[in-house]
Chains A and B, each alone.
Chain A
Amino acid sequence: MKLSELAKKTDLKSLNKFTDKDFEGVYISDMVSDIITIAKPNSLLITLQTHKSLIATGNLVDLAAIVYAKGKMPASDVIQLADKAGIALFVSELDAWALASKLFALGVR
């Protein structure tokens, strides 16, 4: 599924310009030590953490996109770093569980 299609079907708000592409898989975590050891390249990360270290980690793992759950908003310098790293940022008003349920219903694995 493409990022734009995901955003449309799950009511995600985009926080930066992004290259529309197919992503592969989802991981949910608020811990960078988890993300670096488990998240896969070109996948989607759902998190509550808006810290810059998430972008540093996401760039290292080569995440396709990060979705902040529960309406969490990162600071502008975090968005700028994600822009530079080519990581798409989205916000969802849903909590991680509700968003994950929606993704599962859409066939995302």
Chain B
Amino acid sequence: MSTCNHKWEMADIRNGYLVMEGCPRCGGRSASFSADVIVPMDERQEGEHFWVYLGSSQAAKFNLKCVECGKLVDLDDVMGLMMSTCDDPQCDVVKIAAREGKGAWVYVALCADSTHASGKCVSAEGIKALNEYFNQNIKVPGKKIVVVPCETCCSVDRCKGIVIADVGLTEIY
């Protein structure tokens, strides 16, 4: 087990598009990252799903690397981050925000599949590294960033929040 007190920095920064697709059959939502110059908008069959293009936004993907020990944490399963503004008392994200107290800001790490049908979400290792990264240089006393996986939400598709995305910047063309 590593004893390194990790000091994270971003690595493997890639620019591209976050592509959102929806399946009219199951109501699920899927997200993927594309480094193509042109956004892929083709409809496609994948098992029981029939994915239809919903929209896209310019985005950047990154991994985290420790400058002390060289450990690399792959964040390929993170499709975006959302500042939670949820006020549903039944939602675990709201409970976490209440537990963390004043000065804590909860951000939801969004995985590719809102249905979580595969049983997968953002990895625990990725969540831990994101928490350490965003908190390691905070200058404001008492401030804390809490990153949670989107499976924590009562419903990712209904949960209130501000998604960090460059939506609309290319739509004037």
- Interface, chain A (partner B; CB < 8 A): 30-34, 36-37, 40-42, 52-53, 55-57, 59-60, 62, 64, 85-86
A53 → B minimal CB distance (Å):
5
Of B38-46, B48-56, B86-94, B137-145, the stretch lying at the interface with chain A is: B137-145
Contacts known (A53-B163, A85-B105); A62 close to B140, Cβ less than 8 A: yes
**DSSP majority for the A interface?**
helix
Question: Which residues of chain B have C-beta atoms less than 8 A from A30's C-beta?
Answer: 169
Instruction: Provide a sorted-by-A list of 17 A–B residue pairs whose CB atoms are within 8 angstroms.
Output: A31-B166, A33-B59, A33-B165, A33-B166, A36-B60, A36-B81, A40-B137, A42-B139, A53-B163, A56-B82, A59-B105, A60-B134, A60-B145, A62-B138, A62-B143, A64-B139, A86-B140
- Interface, chain B (partner A; CB < 8 A): 10, 13, 15, 58-60, 62, 81-83, 105, 107, 134, 137-140, 143, 145, 162-167, 169
A33 touches B60 (CB 8 A): yes
The CA of A37 and the CA of B143, in the complex, are separated in Å by 20
| Best-buried of B10, B60, B107, B137 by chain A (most CB within 10 Å) | B60
Contacts known (A41-B138, A42-B139, A62-B143); A36 close to B164, Cβ less than 8 A: yes
**DSSP majority for the B interface?**
strand
Question: Which residues of chain A have C-beta atoms less than 8 A from B167's C-beta?
Answer: 53
A37 touches B162 (CB 8 A): no
The CA of A76 and the CA of B88, in the complex, are separated in Å by 24
B143 touches A86 (CB 8 A): yes
A62 touches B165 (CB 8 A): no
A41 touches B137 (CB 8 A): yes
A60 → B minimal CB distance (Å):
6
Partner of B83 from A37, A59, A62, A86 at Cβ < 8 Å: A59
The CA of A36 and the CA of B105, in the complex, are separated in Å by 16
The CA of A85 and the CA of B107, in the complex, are separated in Å by 13
Closest to A55 in B: B162
The CA of A7 and the CA of B19, in the complex, are separated in Å by 40
B137 → A minimal CB distance (Å):
4
